[in-house]
Structure 1
Amino acid sequence: MNKLVRAAQTSQSLSLSAMEEASRTGQREADLEHLLLALVITDQSAGRALRELGIDIESARLAVRQQHETQLAALGIEASLPAAGPIVFHETDGYTWTKRATDLLARSSGRGRAGDAAAVLRELVAEPSGLIADLLQRLGTTPAEVTTHLDRIDAACETSSPRPQTNGRATMTSDTFVSAPVEQVWSFVSDPARVPDWEPSIGEVDTTDHEARVDSVWEGRAPGHRPDGRPTKVRPDFRRRTIELVTAQQPERAVWRFTYPDAANASPITTTFNLAAATGGTQVTITLSWSRRPGWRRVVGIALRPVQKFVMWMLLFQIGGAVSREFR
């Protein structure tokens, strides 16, 4: 993958997770501790290194809370911080990084650095304020131990083989780590009633007339409002969507097929979830697949392919983020 693309995708993913974590405590600025929380749940080698050292999202959140309380006590302030609430990032706005977090992300993609999550973690454990070193101490490890473990994981990583392609179909794939057991994640992604919780084009599903079994078909409706309450504008032919459960192999695979019954030229899209147990949770591979248009439409489609790839990547990003967020 191109370094620039990798760095951009990593920054986007870490920014979302960090600002979601900041939103739990009513903060609008994501700082170094929120970046650490985001790295704990990344699917990249940085997340695996932290989780294999026994650091999960709950223990990391507790360490951050205890560190903040210690800092207040050092200032002579005896007070307990308010309990964190649910993630409200998607219902609010005005989020940003602190300058030191922005500078750190920039350094991770600078000259000689890959810009991936591993590069971000290396910069984070070496930052000079001592905050991350103190947090890691609370979590039973040290910056040196984290770096050593990350080196070992990166050295053991082999170049992944290309994803198999299906003739006449285009595919895009993304990986997401979820802080929950495989069975719980599978129950979520295989339940038709939960489809609106991860598929952004669907606001509600009528599940009263069909059982949740393979080959069952449901009708979904486009959402009328965004998570922040703003109304959405949807073309009439895209307001209804047919939802079919194609495969349900518990607990490792669920496949959904989506069509627009009122839009004759819209290609059906298949969304596949492949689940595997991982240290601290579940590794989820999400694949979007759609038919390539035949004839002259395919020629036109070639010119629009970069735009289509970006749109599909954004959809994968939204789906993966929604599944991860459900269990945090």
Structure 2
Amino acid sequence: MNKLVRAAQTSQSLSLAAMEEASRLGLREADIEHLFLALVISDQSAGRALRSMGISLDAARQAVEEQREAQLASLGIDASFPEAGRIVFHETDGYEWSPRARALIAKSSGRNKSGAAAAVLRGLVAEPSGLITEILDRLGTSSDALLKQLDQFDSPAETTTPAAEKVKGRISGSSETFVSAPMEKVWEFLADPTRIPEWEPSLGSIEHSEQEATVGAVWQGFAPTSHPNGKPVKIKPQFRRRSIELVAVLRPERIAWSFAHPDVGRSRSVLTEFTLVSATGGTQVQITKSWPRRQGWRSLVALPLRPIQKFLVWITLFQTGSAVSRAFR
């Protein structure tokens, strides 16, 4: 993966997670402590290094909160921050980085920097205010110990978007995400048809059905009528319904769903597969989406659009991975 793509994907993933953390406190500006929390759940080497030291998301959140309170007390202010609630970033807007967080992310992809999450974490540890160093101290470790651990996990060959296995006649894309929950709980979430709208953006609801979730079972879903922020969704009638079929089950390691538009002629079903692996502090989830490649002259027409197609695949994978992670935070 080239440096530009790596930096863009890292910035996107860290920005989303950090601003989600800020939204729990009713804030619209994400600062370096929120960036630190985003790194704790990163699927890259930075996140694995932090988690290998016993730093969980809950522990990191607690340390950040204690540090804020200590800062207020040092200023003689007897007050506390609002109690954290649920993530509302996807339902609201108006978020931005603080100037120092924005500068730090930009610097991580500068000259002789990889743009990966490890570069961001190294920049955080060296940040002049010393805030992250103090948070690490509350977590029972130090900057030096973290950097030593990061050296062991960091690798130029690391990638957050592994190539999916190529299948003849199909287009596919794959990515990974870390979920801060046990493997069994993540599998149960992904295997529950009633919860599909929580991670599949093209679905707003599932027709209630008491049928057992077994291979071959089919449910009917409907496109969302509004965005999370309440704005109405415009959608053509033939795309309102979706059939959802459970096509593979291997508890607790794999689950696969097939989605199609029954009211669209020559509809190409999309296969979404999840592969789960237990990891320190949670579960590593690989997500793969694939669908049949167009045949004949249609494949020639679609050829120039492949770069755009790859970008759209990455966007859908990113949305799904982020939604799965968010469900457990």
Equivalent residue number for residue 140 of structure 1: 140
Equivalent residue number for residue 56 of structure 1: 56
Equivalent residue number for residue 298 of structure 2: 297
Equivalent residue number for residue 236 of structure 1: 237
Q: How far apart, CA to CA, are the structure 2 residues paired with 1:12 and 1:156?
A: 20
**1:210, CA displacement in angstroms?**
2.4
Summarize the Cα distance change of 1:136–1:315 in structure 2 as closer, same or farther, 3 Å threshold.
same
Alignment of 1:35-74 (within 5 A): 35-74=35-74
Q: How far apart, CA to CA, are the structure 1 residues paired with 2:34 and 2:100?
A: 12
Q: How far apart, CA to CA, are the structure 1 residues paired with 2:157 and 2:66?
A: 35
SS at match of 1:202: coil
SS at match of 1:43: coil
Q: How far apart, CA to CA, are the structure 2 residues paired with 1:145 and 1:285?
A: 30
Q: How far apart, CA to CA, are the structure 2 residues paired with 1:300 and 1:209?
A: 43
Q: How far apart, CA to CA, are the structure 2 residues paired with 1:258 and 1:158?
A: 31
Q: How far apart, CA to CA, are the structure 2 residues paired with 1:72 and 1:132?
A: 16
Equivalent residue number for residue 175 of structure 1: 176
**1:157, CA displacement in angstroms?**
6.6
Equivalent residue number for residue 315 of structure 2: 314
> 1:90 is matched by which residue type in structure 2?
H
> 2:217 is matched by which residue type in structure 1?
S
The answer to whether the aligner puts 1:150 opposite 2:183 as a matched pair is: no
Q: Deviations over 1:226-253 (max 9, x none)?
A: 0000000011111100000001111010
RMSD over equivalenced CA pairs, Å? 1.5
Tell me if the contact between 2:162 and 2:176 (Cα under 8 Å) persists in the aligned partners.
Answer: no
TM-score (normalised: structure 1):
0.97
Q: How far apart, CA to CA, are the structure 2 residues paired with 1:158 and 1:240?
A: 39
Summarize the Cα distance change of 1:296–1:156 in structure 2 as closer, same or farther, 3 Å threshold.
closer
Q: How far apart, CA to CA, are the structure 2 residues paired with 1:303 and 1:316?
A: 22
> 1:298 is matched by which residue type in structure 2?
S
Equivalent residue number for residue 195 of structure 1: 196
Tell me if the contact between 1:21 and 1:87 (Cα under 8 Å) persists in the aligned partners.
Answer: yes
Equivalent residue number for residue 248 of structure 2: 247
SS at match of 1:304: helix
**1:282, CA displacement in angstroms?**
0.2
**1:156, CA displacement in angstroms?**
9.9
Q: How far apart, CA to CA, are the structure 2 residues paired with 1:325 and 1:42?
A: 12
**1:79, CA displacement in angstroms?**
2.0
> 1:7 is matched by which residue type in structure 2?
A
Tell me if the contact between 2:162 and 2:174 (Cα under 8 Å) persists in the aligned partners.
Answer: no
Alignment of 1:8-23 (within 5 A): 8-23=8-23
Tell me if the contact between 1:223 and 1:232 (Cα under 8 Å) persists in the aligned partners.
Answer: yes
Q: How far apart, CA to CA, are the structure 2 residues paired with 1:161 and 1:234?
A: 32
Summarize the Cα distance change of 1:158–1:88 in structure 2 as closer, same or farther, 3 Å threshold.
closer
- Of residues 202-211 and 216-225 in structure 1, the stretch that sits farther from structure 2 once superposed is 202-211
Tell me if the contact between 1:177 and 1:282 (Cα under 8 Å) persists in the aligned partners.
Answer: yes
Summarize the Cα distance change of 1:161–1:254 in structure 2 as closer, same or farther, 3 Å threshold.
closer
- Of residues 13-22 and 73-82 in structure 1, the stretch that sits farther from structure 2 once superposed is 73-82
Summarize the Cα distance change of 1:42–1:270 in structure 2 as closer, same or farther, 3 Å threshold.
same
Tell me if the contact between 1:204 and 1:221 (Cα under 8 Å) persists in the aligned partners.
Answer: yes
Q: How far apart, CA to CA, are the structure 2 residues paired with 1:157 and 1:11?
A: 19
> 1:325 is matched by which residue type in structure 2?
R
SS at match of 2:314: helix
Q: How far apart, CA to CA, are the structure 2 residues paired with 1:166 and 1:287?
A: 12
Q: Deviations over 1:277-301 (max 9, x none)?
A: 0000000000001110000110111
**1:155, CA displacement in angstroms?**
5.0
Summarize the Cα distance change of 1:298–1:156 in structure 2 as closer, same or farther, 3 Å threshold.
closer
Equivalent residue number for residue 187 of structure 2: 186
SS at match of 1:195: helix
Q: How far apart, CA to CA, are the structure 1 residues paired with 2:235 and 2:178?
A: 31
Equivalent residue number for residue 110 of structure 2: 110
Tell me if the contact between 1:192 and 1:207 (Cα under 8 Å) persists in the aligned partners.
Answer: no
Aligned residues: 328
Equivalent residue number for residue 208 of structure 1: 209
Identity among equivalent pairs (%): 59
> 1:286 is matched by which residue type in structure 2?
I
Equivalent residue number for residue 94 of structure 2: 94
TM-score (normalised: structure 2):
0.97
Q: How far apart, CA to CA, are the structure 1 residues paired with 2:267 and 2:4?
A: 32
**1:161, CA displacement in angstroms?**
8.2
